[in-house]
Structure 1
Amino acid sequence: MSGEQKAKAKVEQAKGKAQEAVGRTVGNERMTAKGRAEQAKGHAREAKEKMKDTTED
């Protein structure tokens, strides 16, 4: 996995987790959903990079 892409994936996941937590705390369902979406985006990026790594071998 490319180091830069791996870092982006982790940042997206962390950002999403934080946004989801804040949304739950303040009772803002829209913010909670955006946080979940951000996490999913990070997971998808990570999966894509892992797939690239396995096909390059």
Structure 2
Amino acid sequence: MYSSGPGTIGTGTAGGTLAVTGFDGVFWVIAGAALLIVGLFLLRLTLIGRIEIESP
């Protein structure tokens, strides 16, 4: 694996491309999962909040 920073995208070598796309892929999967979890958590909080507000 040869990685020289952001410049690896422009080189076109298989190793550089694999390193960049692999890292980006993992990053975006983690970021997407985190956003999804946060979104569901906030949605659940708002639903619980509405139920608690409407109950009394």
TM-score by length of 2: 0.53
For the structure 1 residues 28 and 48, does the alpha-carbon distance in structure 2 shift closer, same or farther, using more than 3 Å as the test?
same
Count of paired positions: 38
Structure 1 unaligned runs (5+)?
1-16
Q: Percent of aligned pairs with the same residue?
A: 8
Q: CA RMSD in A?
A: 2.1
| Larger Rg belongs to | 2
Which of the residues 9, 22, 25 maps onto 2:8?
22
TM-score by length of 1: 0.52
Q: Write 1 or 2 for the structure with the bigger share of helix.
A: 1
Asked if 1:35 corresponds to 2:20, the answer is: yes
Structure 2 unaligned runs (5+)?
43-56
